[in-house]
Each structure stands twice: as structure tokens, then as C-alpha cells.
Structure 1
Amino acid sequence: MDRRVFLKSAAFAGFSVATLPATLLRANADGSKILRMAYGAEVLTLDPIKTTYGADILIQGMMYARLLHANADRTEVGPGLAESWDIADDGKTYTFHLREAKFSDGSPITAEDVAFSWNRMRFQKDSAYAAPFQPLTKIEAKDARTVVMTLDRKFTPFLTLTEIWNTGIVPKAAVEKMGDDAFAKAPVTSGPFKFVELKPGDRVVLGRNEHYYRQGEPKIDGVEFRYVPDDNTRVSMLQAGELDVCLGVPAPRMAELKAAGFRADPEPSSTTYDMLINHSAEPFNDLKFRQAVSYGIDRTAINAAVTLGLGTPAISIMSPTLDFFDKSLPVIARDVEKAKALLAESGKAGASFELIQNAGSADEEKAAVLIQAQLAEVGITVNIAKIDSTQAWTRLADGEYQAEMNWWYNETRDPDNALRWCVWGAGDNKSYYTRYNNETVDKLIDEASGEADNAKRAELYAQIQKTVVDEVAQVALYHPTWLNAYAPSVKGLVLNVGLQFSSIGGTSLD
């Protein structure tokens, strides 16, 4: 889920914490070990419940601690702020026992803060991503160090969800005193880094949180997270020594960077790159037309051209890194004649549609141009519109689009929240704004989430995957790897499948 710009307005002034030394802003100029990284999207909010946008998720993962903590590749989750937990025999009650910890301002992190943070995330009306937590009905502080959460049914994925970014713990007192808007611009944090400065349209600067609960972490003095929308500009900055980490490297540049001594190895991701389509608008409101488009596209060729073989052609909307991925599904082979026949059956011969591409994305441009050429052979005209990512998101969320190049990922290796994000019609985001809605799929998702038997879960998820492929819920194209590059001085930093730097606390700069 790129979740590109959940908040379409970033029109707020820069904020800083005046008590922190201004020298932090001069990354590494005075010997301070500041990790400088750049990404192709702008940070829009620092409140973990107010966003589903990639840039926000990345920076907030370094700012807020969660109940559980994932290992570097997110194959396991273990103690975090909760040093232990109990699960009731019926699977409906989770009791978390907190360790002693402090916020970045030195105030203690209590069960009341945890309950407040989770109640905001789960029940506040403007919480952006409460959908995965629907079974959770009650969160309460039993005492200063104990939090009890009650679910209305057995929900197998629940424990893994206690580590995703929007469950980051915030201080109740600070949020209530400052108000949501002010807190989102200059927050008090609970993770390895504290807030220093926000420069809208430019960067976020973080400093070392001396009160972080993990002893000896973080090992560096801070992070400078810059907004650099052009892919190749970021690469040039890395080569020039202006960055330590380049997030989002065009595939053709990876070998070049590796040969130059940078760490530039593909990292496993849970991403699906796709063409989102609006089921409520012409011409994608017709199944035969959607199928014509699907059969007219060569996923193998697009994957080869865009990822240079570093990704895999899509056979499912789910990434192969997720549990219960159905390996038996075939890649939909391009069949121009079948696509033409389906187009004729749809009654939309000679149809055209606008395909939105986010300006500055080299990979999106390459894929969009290939789709345009491939569908022209079917008799479908594709008009590519390169627009700013914020405008693209606004049109997507408002349903004022026909098709858009996009991507999404999953925070965990369990597929439940992935499917609730992209094909669960009952969700607030309308199946990632495609307006796809199949009540049978919704019921299967709910059934699978409550099933403890992995074999039975696998059968249910296989059924879901086949259905949404047949109905072309989205036009899944390929599953890329994370393509990032790191300066040789960066040690121990890994971007995991859930778009988090879980190892950031132990990262060092030589």
C-alpha cells in the first residue's frame, strides 16, 4: 500500500524544539553521527493515527515505541514496551504487562498512556487505519503497568498488529494539552528518536532520545529524513556524499551503486505494484472490460523492464513474502486475441481511459508507457497523466479517477490487514479506493482471521486470491523488492517487509 497521501493538506508551518542544539541540523558537520536519508514522498504528519502514507510511516516508526518489537526482517515479534503478555483461553482477552519506560520528555510511560493511544487509534473518528482492529472492542488500564484488551471474537492476527506503526504510544498528557494538530507538528515521542524539527516540503530532523527504554540505543545521534521527489536526484546525492541512505533506487542504478561500493542489495518487501481501477466509473465498472485489460497486459515483460528481474510478475494481489500466498495461481499470460474478444463482449470497443502516473517516478513512467503500448494492440487507448502525488491521492480518495499507477504493502507477514486494505469492501477506504465490493470476499476475510488452523486459513486465503484475480479487483502487475542503497559507513540498517527500520536503534555510522 503506497497509501500515498492520506492527508492531502500539508500547509502547516515548520516547527522545531528550540531547546535542542541547532548543530543537529548540520548533519555530521561537527562529528555528530546523523543518519541522512532521502525518500520520494513528503512527510505530512507526525501523529501515528492520522496517516497511511509511506513517508509518514517510515519516520514515525523511528519515533514511537509499540507494545511489541519486531526483529530486523520482521519474521518474529517479541517484547517491546510490553515485557510479557497473557492470552485468555478463549482468545478474546489480551493482558499486557509493561516495563518501566519513559517518553522523550522524561515522563513515565504508563498503562494509561497505552490505553489512551490505542483508544485514539481504534475509536477516534479521524483515525486513518483502524480497519485491521475491528474485533477490538475495549482497551483499559487495569493498573499503572497492566493493559487489558478485549476482542469480540477470536482474531488470530491480533498479536502481530501490536507492532505496526499506528499503535505507537503517545503521551496522554501532551496530546490533551497540545491538541491533535499541534502534537502532529511537534510531538513528544516514545521510540529511539525525539523530534527536533519539521520543515514542510523539505525534511524532518530527529535527535537521540536519551530516555529510550532499550539500553544502549540508539547508537547514532539523530536522523535527517529528506524529501527528494526525483529518483535519480536522490541517487546523485548519495554518490556525492550528501546522503547516507537513498530510499527508492531505480532498478537500473542498483548495479552501478553496488559497483561503486555502496550496499545496494534488493531487500524483501511485501509490496504489490498495480494499476488501481475505479469500479464505480466507466469503463472499469464492467467485468468484461476489466478482464480485457487484464489479459491485454504483459506482466512478465513489465516486471522484467521495471525491476530488471529483481521482482516477480504478479500472480496474486498478495506478495509472495506474505503467509498463505497461493503459489499455485498462474501468471496471467498476455492473450491479445482473448482480450479483444472480451472487449467486444463488453460493448466498449474503442474505449479509452486516463492512467494517472505520479510525476518523478521513473518506474511508474516505464510501466505506464508499456501498459499504454500493450493495450493499444487490444484496441484500448490509454492517456497517461503525470501529476503530483498529492493531487493523485486526492483524486484517488475522492473517486475522481479511472486508473492510477500505485503500490501498497503489508505491515505484517499475516495477510489479514493486507486484504482488509485492498479488497475488503466494508472498510472505510473502499478497497483502497477502487470501490471493489464483494460480500462473499468480505465474509471469507472475516472467517479466515478467526481460524486457528493454518491449513484451513490457507484454503480460505486461496479462495480469496482466486476470486479477486478473476474479478480483477486491481490489475496487479509485479511484486518488487525494496531497492535502497546505503553508504558503506551505515551498519546494521535493514528495511523490513513491513516498511519499517526495526533495527534503527542498533544502527551505527562508522
Structure 2
Amino acid sequence: MRKSKWIVLLVVFAMVASLGLAGCGGGEEAPDSEQPADDQGDQGKDEEAKDDGETGNKLAEEQVLRLNWNSEPPNLDPQLSQDATSSRILIDTLEGIIRLTKDGKVKQGTGMAKTWDVSEDGTKYTFHLRDAKWHDGEPVTAQDFEYSWLRALDPETASTYAFLGYDIKNAQAFNTGEIEDPSKVGITAKDDKTLVVELEAANPVFLSKLQNSTFLPSRKDLVEKWGTKYGSEAEYLPSCGPFKVTEWEHEQTLVMEKNENYWDAENVTLERVEGVMITDSNTVMNLYETDQLDFIQVPNQYLDKYKEKATIAPEAACFYYTFNLDNVYFENLKIRKAFTMAVDREKIVSLRYKGTRPPAFGFVPPGMPGPGDKTFREANGPQFKDLGTEGMKEEANKLLDEGLKEIGKTREDMAKDVKFLTFDGDNNLQLAQIWQQSWNEALGVNIEIEQSTFKIKVDRENKGDFAFSFSGWIGDYNDPMTFMDMWITGGSQNTTNWSNEEYDKLIKKAQTTSGEERMQAMLDAEEILLEEAPIAPFFYDAVVLAERDYVEGVIRLPLQVTNGLKYAKILAH
């Protein structure tokens, strides 16, 4: 992959959860008393400050970083987690086969694998692991990775991210129950320090997938000992990464401390990370402006105030409506298209986000690689129109009229029967209310809004207990497939219950071919996806960050996968 297609920003780690990314959502508001204004300790006081070793800047004596996780991580079991908040904590507390470099590249020696070899045909990887320990002194072994990856693929685990491993030989067949013998899957611990992985076909992005939390190691002995408690509390969270979770008060705070048994502990400067879980934007701003948080994502209503001070970090992420095709209304294509068209994306996004985010007329975000020298978005262009185009209001109403007639319903029926599900937090409510007004003005349907915590919302979507909802997806690796394979028939992330045989064939083709042929299959698949409209893209994301000058060395990549806080440090101030 070319460096130009990565947006590498040395900015502070921030949650995208205030917008509810597929994997991120809000937790309940923590009371202000959890962070009293005068409880600052001695942070920043330093009589004989040490050098940071890179820039020559002096380090603070107390290496404590204070942040807002925003949401409660639903599950810190790496094979069960499915959200960005959990992923970022797991990346900081566990070490995968690889760890992306500071500029977002895959490089040998940065993670648990010291080196690796690849066969000539690109279908066999042999990883040679370094000497490393878990936080309790137990050795990290190749068997830990073999167990964890097979556990993710085991249908009994019900991992929603199992599909990420489908590149591996027989992985999909094992996950779907076609074969039952895990020894037939191409994952083998040859010995304690050697992991051999065989693929179905050569895939140039396979290595970059391994940074995802699904591929992080778990402890077989502790999974068997703790059962469903694994990953649920601080005391049930083993660590082999830069930090370990030492405190976790659910819906309130989560604290990490440096893991002294980490193989690269000498390059970890922070001693402690103190995080709260707050969704109310005014509370967040109050904590930041009273020096109780070291960095934040700037809420929308404060963008004008902070536009000169903030850093905008684009993300490979798309936010969209998810339509449940098992719902009597949204089973109808004409009704889905009417709601897709019945908002003015350009106008709403411009007014709401002050130019920090672009509207979305396709699903795969800008910057993702495409054919030749083009990005995917450049190659496929806009895939639909909305109220910003003349005549769309009339067309949307015509489609809604026809769709309702086909199912024997009226606008009054729809207003009574259909609710829009979104995340908690005032920002999410405000955005939903803008859409509510747009649907009412354009289509004459007043849709009720439901808000829910991320955990409950995802559970409802997985059970099909919704009509349509606000969703988002951030790329797991730098390739369009991270957005396209979500929507295959029966896919674990496909909560729309949409199924299209031609789409499935194109994704399969893209998974087993290369070059222009592979890319064209994904371009064609996106056209089918947006013509069928099980989802309706609305905007591409960016994170607007405000941070203290004394925070240094936290790396923000545009993907869900990030280096987190390993290299973060607090300068003397």
C-alpha cells in the first residue's frame, strides 16, 4: 500500500464514539463528582525532568494521561469484541503478531512476531515469535495464537468478526460448520515460537488484518477457568501488551497502568491512563476547560470556538442508516430509496459539522485504494442523489406512495409503527432530530426517535429488533474489502438481513482474484449495494481533537486499528 493513502497523524488518541461508530457508542454520563476540579495531584511538576529521548523535550515526573473513553467497552474479550472503544483498549493491553509502525506500516519486529517468512506463491506465512511474557510471568507462545484464532472461528464462540479470518485455509468452512475438525484449518503452532498460517489464496492485505483485536491472543487456561467472565472485569483481563487494566468501574471509569512484563516496556513512558466514560458534550467540555482531561473530541456545538485550536483527523469511516429488511416497511425497496433520498446531505453536513466532514454518496470512504492510481471513491463516483438535487422531493414522495400502496399501508400507519434507533448522547439526539424534521418535511412522515446505549443498540440490531437505525463503520485495514464483505448473505455484521446472489458472487471473486479484476469486482458490488439500498450512507467521518501541548507521541491512524498509547508521554509543563 502506498503511504499517500494513509493519513498518519501524530495526534492524541480520541474516541469516535460520540457518533456511535459500529463499534463505538456512548456510555451513560458519569457524574461530575468523579473528576473534582481541584483533584489534579502533582502532574506536570518536575524538578529534575528527564529527556523524552526523541525530541529533547523534558518529561513530566508524573506520567499520567487523562482521557474520555466516552463509552463503556461492551466486552474486552478479544475474540468477542466488535467495537472501536474495546478495540483500542485491547490494542493497548495485548500484543498481536504485528503492531503497526508509527506511520501505519506493517514491519517485521514491531509485534510479537520477530520475523516471518512468506512462500513464493504468497499462501503460506511462517511467523517466528520473540521471547515475551504475559503480565503474570507466563510465556507467550505460538499455541496462544493458534488457540485464539481457532476460537474466533469456532461457530460456538459466535464471534461477529470471524469473517476477518476467512483468508485462512478452511476458515470459512469451519466457521459455518461445513467442516468440524479444527485441525483442517490452516493455523498450526509448529512449536512454542513458530506459527504457520496457510491461506486459501494469496492476499496482499492479510498481514495488515492481524492488527485487528480479533487476532490478539487469549489465554486458553484462563478462558477455561473463568468462562464467560473472561474480559468482563479488570481481574479477568490478562495482558501481554504495553498496559494492563487495573480498575474498571462499569459505565464510569477504566484505568490502565504500565505492564512491566511487556517485552518492549523500556519504550513505554506512560505509567497510568485514567479514563472516564461521558457522553454529554457539555460535561466533556467542562472537564477539558477546567484542566481535568488532557484531550477530547470537540463536540459539534463547540467547533466554531475551537476551529483555530483543534486538529482535524480524517477517518476511513462511513455513517449511514441501516434498514431492517425483515421490517414490513423497509422490506420494500421503494420505501428504502424514498428515505435515502429524503434528506439534503450537503446542507445538513455543512451546517452541522462546519466543513469538518464530507457528505457520503457512496459507501467506501475517500482515500481507500482503487484501480491504478485512483482511489476507490474516485473510480466509482457518487452512487445516488438526494434532496440537494432538483426534483428529488417529488421522486422520493412518488416512491413512498408506491411502496406504501404495495404493502397496504399509509403514512399514518408508518408514523405509528416505525421508530428510528440511534445511540445515546446529546449529539446523536440532535442529529436524529434533524433527520426527523427532514423526513417530516419531505415525506410527511413523523418518525419517533429511540436512543440506546451502544451495547443495547447492537444487541437489538443483532436480534432484528429495530426498523432502521443510525450506524457507522470504520475500516479495519487499508483496503475496500473491509467495507464490502460486511454485506454478504448471512454475514455477522449484516444486520439488514439483505441478501443478493450477484453481490455474494462478486465479493467471492474479489476474495480469490487480484489486481484490476479484484478491484472491479468490488466496484461493481458497491453499485449493487447502493442500488438495492439496505443501507443509506450519510457522511464520512473525521475526528476534531483538542489537546494539551504537553501530550506527545500518540499516533492516530484513520482506521479502527491504531497504535494507541504505547508511545504517548507527558511533557514537563
Which whole-Å deviations, capped at 9, do the CAs of 1:417-471 have from their partners, x for residues lacking one? Answer: 32223x2223133x1x111211211221121122221x22221121111111111
Query: After TM superposition, what 4+ stretches of structure 1 lie above 6 angstroms from structure 2?
Result: none
Instruction: Name the amino acid aligned to 1:128.
Output: T
| Residues 469-508 of structure 1 mapped to structure 2, 5 A cutoff | 469-502=530-563, 504-508=565-569
Task: Please tell me the residue identity of whatever aligns with 1:506.
Answer: Y
Q: Is the 8 A contact 1:117 1:170 kept in 2?
A: yes
**Alpha-carbon distance between aligned partners in 1 of 2:472 and 2:410, rounded to the nearest angstrom:** 29
Q: Tell me the amino acid that sits aligned with residue 64 of structure 2.
A: I
For residue 417 of structure 1, the aligned residue among 482, 496, 511 is 482
- Quick one: structure 1 residues 38 and 502, their matched pair in 2 at CA, closer, same or farther if it must change by over 3 Å? same
Alignment of 1:99-498 (within 5 A): 99-123=130-154, 125-126=156-157, 127-136=159-168, 137-185=185-233, 186=235, 187-214=237-264, 216-246=266-296, 248-257=297-306, 259=308, 264-324=310-370, 325-327=376-378, 328-330=380-382, 332-334=385-387, 335-346=392-403, 347=405, 350=411, 351-352=414-415, 353-362=418-427, 364-389=428-453, 390-421=455-486, 423-429=487-493, 431=494, 433-453=495-515, 455-498=516-559
Structure-1-length-normalised TM-score: 0.88
CA drift of 1:379 comes to 2.5
- What is the distance in 2 between the residues matched to 1:70 and 1:27? 33
- SS of the counterpart of 1:267? strand
SS in 1 for 2:566: helix
1:332 match: secondary structure: coil
Alignment partner of 2:186: what SS?
A: strand
CA distance in 2 between counterparts of 1:182 and 1:466 reads: 41
CA distance in 2, matches of 1:3, 1:294: 19
- Structure 1's 256 and 379: CA in aligned 2 closer, same or farther, altered over 3 A? closer
SS at match of 2:76: coil
Counterpart of 2:182 in structure 1 is none
Taking only the aligned residue pairs, the percentage that are identical comes to: 23
Decide which moves more: 178-187 or 193-202.
178-187
1:3 aligns with 2:56: no
- Is the contact between residue 311 and residue 481 of structure 1 (CA under 8 Å) also seen in structure 2? yes
Q: How does 1:15-94 map to 2 (within 5 A)?
A: 29=42, 32-72=62-102, 74=104, 76=106, 78-79=108-109, 80-94=111-125
SS of the counterpart of 2:438?
A: helix
Structure 2 letter corresponding to 1:87 = V
Q: Aligned partners of 1:406, 1:361: CA distance in 2, in Å?
A: 16
Counterpart-to-counterpart distance in 2, 1:281 and 1:92: 42
Distance 1:319 1:369 in 2: 25
Change (3 A) 1:297 1:387: same
Which sits farther off after the overlay, 328-337 or 104-113? 328-337
**Change beyond 3 A, Cα 1:172–1:113:** same
1:202 and 1:227 in contact (8 A); partners too: yes
Q: CA deviation at 1:232?
A: 2.6
Equivalent residues of 2:142, 2:191 under 8 A apart: yes
Decide whether the 8 Å contact of 1:39 with 1:229 is kept in 2.
no
Q: Structure 2: which 5+ residue stretches go unaligned?
A: 1-19, 29-38, 44-60, 169-184, 371-375
State the distance in 2 between where 1:28 and 1:214 align. 28
Q: 1: CA distance between counterparts of 2:227 and 2:465?
A: 32
Alignment: residue pair count: 484
Structure 1: 5+ residue stretches without partners:
11-25
Offset of residue 118 of structure 1: 1.8
Post-superposition shift, 1:235? Answer: 2.0
Structure exhibiting the larger radius of gyration computed from Cα positions: 2
Q: Calculate the aligned-residue CA RMSD, in Å.
A: 2.5
The change in CA–CA distance for 1:28 and 1:52 in structure 2 (over 3 A counts) is: farther
Q: Which moved more, 1:94-103 or 1:377-386?
A: 377-386
CA distance 1:77–1:465, shift in 2 (3 Å): farther
* Residue of structure 2 equivalent to 1:22: none
